[in-house]
Amino acid sequence: MLLSAVSLAACGPIQVPESNQPARCPRPCPASCPDSCLPSGYCSKITLTEAQLGLPPQSDVEGDNHWSILLPGFPPNQDISFIINGEFDVSEREGEVPFYMKLWIRFEQPFEFSPISLAGTFDQFPIWAAYRDHVMSSDAGVLDIEAVVASCDANVGDPPEPIQAHCFFAPSSTVEGELIDTAPWLSAPLCDP
């Protein structure tokens, strides 16, 4: 009986020595990533819809032919993967199906990747296309993609005549960016003194 009392007394609470590490304070994240906030205050993933991005219809007329797709909240100068899940339509279609449209999107420097290309007579709209790649965030931590409408054409009338049209992202479209290496950003910064 004495042995069991001694063994119980030896199993008291473990004392953990105080750390000499400075205190760390997690930073708040931008509103663009409430569910993927890192302790450093940056986003690990951002998904925005067409409505949140505010992407108006565009033609292929110079000066009226590009979409600026901006996803702010990433760490600066980091490799970010992205996917454009685009659903596209033509303003001049006015609900008509089948309908011929041609849309070609290229991407401005510093990006060098293949365009989104759609052409044909379609029975159902919007027309879905996706593109995935990766780029560096800016010094301000913004994923900045400049999409240029190189061609947006449609056939209208009877007999069909080719016209310059206005292509647009349907509301169901999304653009998603994701930080490739989160490890350097998993620790909160030091607390302010």
Q: Domains of the chain (ranges plus CATH)?
A: 48-177 (2.60.120)
Over residues 170-178, mean pLDDT:
95
pLDDT band of 109, cuts 50, 70, 90 = low
pTM: 0.79
Q: What is the pLDDT of residue 17?
A: 53
Tokens of residue 133, six digits:
């790649």
Phi, psi of 116 (to 5 degrees): -85, 130
* Burial class, 139, CB count within 10 angstroms (exposed 0-12 / middle 13-18 / buried 19+): exposed
Gap between the Cα atoms of 6 and 168, Å rounded: 78
Gap between the Cα atoms of 96 and 169, Å rounded: 17
Strand 161-164 and strand 142-156: pairing? antiparallel
Gap between the Cα atoms of 78 and 67, Å rounded: 22
Over residues 69-94, mean pLDDT:
93
Phi, psi of 156 (to 5 degrees): -130, 160
Over residues 20-35, mean pLDDT:
85
